[in-house]
Amino acid sequence: MVAELRTASADPPVATGAEPRQAPGSVRVRTLLYIRWFAVVGQAVALLVVHEFLDLKLPLADCTALLVASILVNLYLLLTRSSAAWLPEHEAAFSLGYDVVQLSALLYLTGGLQNPFTLLMLAPITVSATILSLRSTILLSLFVALAISFLGLFHEPLPWPRSGFVLPSLYLWGLWSALTFATAFIAIYVSRVAAEARSLEAALTETQIALAREQRLSSLGSLAAAVAHELGSPLGTIAVVARELAHDVPADDPLRPDIDLLVSQSARCRDILAQLSQAREGEEDAGSPFLTPPLSALVEEVIGQQGATLVPIELVREPSGGAREPNVARQPGMLHGFANLIQNAVQFANTRVLVIIAWSARDILVTVEDDGPGFSPAVMARLGEPYISSRTGSAGHMGLGVFIAQTLLSRTGARVDFGNADDGGARVVIRWRRSDIEA
């Protein structure tokens, strides 16, 4: 049986693929303060151990001045900003740039690249790649690479215990190369991982919001029944008082029209509450078709909610082996997942969208096809991830809506497969074991 439902979406498709609105360049003042206090304490301990216990005579006065400068910078932040405040990206980048300058100055006074603590030059890059944007991280990486190059050419000699000891230039150039490549690797890799983590967190938040919205809609029936129950008693009292007033007040009294209106409106409210109570009682019946409708009825409901679309949506039922159509429990996640996938198909379709419901004694399949451009190979490999690029030949985007749909449907036990039909359009197949969702 083929039922063609011409729908169209009054609301724009959910999966617009827009990037999450976030501020990756923001960082709390408290975080930068902790990092710098830790660095100052570590530098002070290292200088003390090297100067006093290893008997390497360093320019302690100059090094101490650099430590005091970092302490003053932290005190300035404490006096001018709340520790819970968020620094804008340019200020956070400037703060990390100062740390690079301060550490470079310390290394200049203590042997340059010959100092094993040169590895700490990678620390500001790691922090930046975690909390700042890629642009700021790249600029800071270039600054660090420049500082490392400067330290390789210009620095005060390290006072080795044995005079005349010099590290081979080949080793120093190798160390410079390693630090430079490590800077680039950390900047790119950590930035990418942090960006993906932020995108996934934002997408999961949107998924929870969508599911909560569907659950609120599903609970409206219970709310209506509760309201009907709570308002029944006071409304009954109002109706009794209104009827007594109507009985006692003469017909020619000026207040009689208002009293008659009060009686009629209280009766109308009583009828409305009675209808709400009866509807909810019908839903709570264990055998109610509203709670456990046939799968096709559930899909038809989702299609009907789309409103009027530019392309028709055709619904096809394909039973197999004489199995009866399954009845499934109404689940907010399933409804929202269906809606997102159908909306995306409508967005990209040229002339039609086909929804095929197939079932057997073992499996249930819902297939959503459109005759649009289909999924490009690059997109196909990443479908189901949040915030990905659009399909081939379309200005629309596939991303957050598909991620939400796949996440919610997976929670019902479904497996969602993406592909292209033989004629080139996109095809999404949702598959359940019948025993998992049948009511």
Q: What is the mean pLDDT of each run of 10 residues along the chain (439 residues)?
A: 33 39 62 92 92 85 95 93 85 94 95 92 92 90 95 88 78 92 91 78 69 61 62 78 82 83 82 65 47 84 82 89 84 83 89 92 92 84 66 50 81 88 88 86
Residue 369: predicted pLDDT: 93
Cβ neighbors of 413 (< 8 A, separation 6 or more) are: 432, 433, 436, 437
Contacts of 25 (CB under 8 A, 6+ apart): 88, 89, 90, 92, 93, 131, 132, 133, 136
Q: Which pLDDT does position 267 carry in this prediction?
A: 82
Domain covering 295-437 in this structure, CATH number: 3.30.565.10
How far is residue 185 from each of residues 140, 191, 193, measured CA to CA in Å?
A: 13, 10, 12
Q: What is the pLDDT of residue 169?
A: 86
Q: How far is CA 26 from the centre of its chain?
A: 17
What's the rounded Cα separation, in Å, for the pair 285 and 166? Answer: 89
The pairing of strands 312-319 and 2-6 is: antiparallel
Position 368 scores a pLDDT of 94
Tell me what pLDDT residue 226 has: 64
pLDDT of residue 98: 95
The DSSP call for residue 418 is E
- In Å, how far from its chain's centre is CA 203? 2
What is the Cα–Cα distance from 214 to 382, expressed in whole angstroms? 27
pLDDT score, position 126:
92
Q: Which residues contact 342 (CB under 8 A, 6 or more apart)?
A: 302, 303, 306, 313, 353, 355, 368
For residue 22, the model assigns a pLDDT of 41
pLDDT in tens, 332-362: 778 888 888 998 888 889 998 999 999 998 9
Using an 8 Å Cβ cutoff, are 344 and 9 in contact? no
pTM: 0.55
